[in-house]
Structure 1
């Protein structure tokens, strides 16, 4: 049960990060076209990079690449929350992600 809960949390924070990128893109874009481009493009870009380098069965995954992408994606999501006017939420997000990743790493839950 502990393993399933941690893996579910890992999936949820990954999806949440993509949602944060969409929200940040929407709020940052000036024109309607820019808003749509950023709100759709940033999560897609994040998902593609994640799929290539950080996903458990990623085709280009190495330990360094995987961790680098995870730190970048989750750190940028936390920074995006901060810039959207939610500094405490951004901080809590990053701390939850760090704790979850540490638990997964120590328990060897991820393939």
Structure 2
């Protein structure tokens, strides 16, 4: 079920929301010039990590991996970024958005048990 169109769409939207949540947290928790730097830098770093570290032949991606990593490492990276984005919304004063996002992340992974098993076998 992890590769159904609706779950892949949800996952993509959650990835984008995570980047937004990370940026919003940095914006609201910092001040002055650093506010601009951190609000841009952390989402950018998260996006680069997301796109760079992957499992070879991941069916939910192109199959390519610029930097191949074990499945457990990739799963940890995904969870840190996605739940980090949800936490970012929460810390930025948008608690309900953060909670809904965290629930949607959990729902997406609940319907991706086949992908989770595949990741943990790699």
What is the match of residue 69 of structure 1?
77
What is the match of residue 20 of structure 2?
19
Bigger helix share: 1
| The 10-residue stretch of structure 1 (98-107 or 41-50) with the greater mean CA deviation from structure 2 | 98-107
Question: CA-to-partner distance for each residue in 1:70-92, whole Å, 9 max, x for gaps?
Answer: 11111211211111122222121
The aligned length equals: 108
Judge conservation of contact 1:82–1:89 (CA < 8 Å) in 2. yes
Q: Which runs of 5+ in 1 are unaligned?
A: none
| The 10-residue stretch of structure 1 (45-54 or 67-76) with the greater mean CA deviation from structure 2 | 45-54
Alignment of 1:74-89 (within 5 A): 74-89=82-97
What is the match of residue 50 of structure 2?
50
What is the match of residue 40 of structure 1?
40
What is the match of residue 8 of structure 1?
9
- Point out which structure has higher relative CO (alpha carbons under 8 A, 6+ apart): 2
Q: TM-score, normalised by structure 2?
A: 0.75
Q: Which runs of 5+ in 2 are unaligned?
A: 56-60
RMSD of aligned alpha carbons:
2.4
Mapped to 2, the partners of 1:9 and 1:38 lie a distance apart of 26
CA pair 6-84 structure 1, distance change in 2 beyond 3 A: same
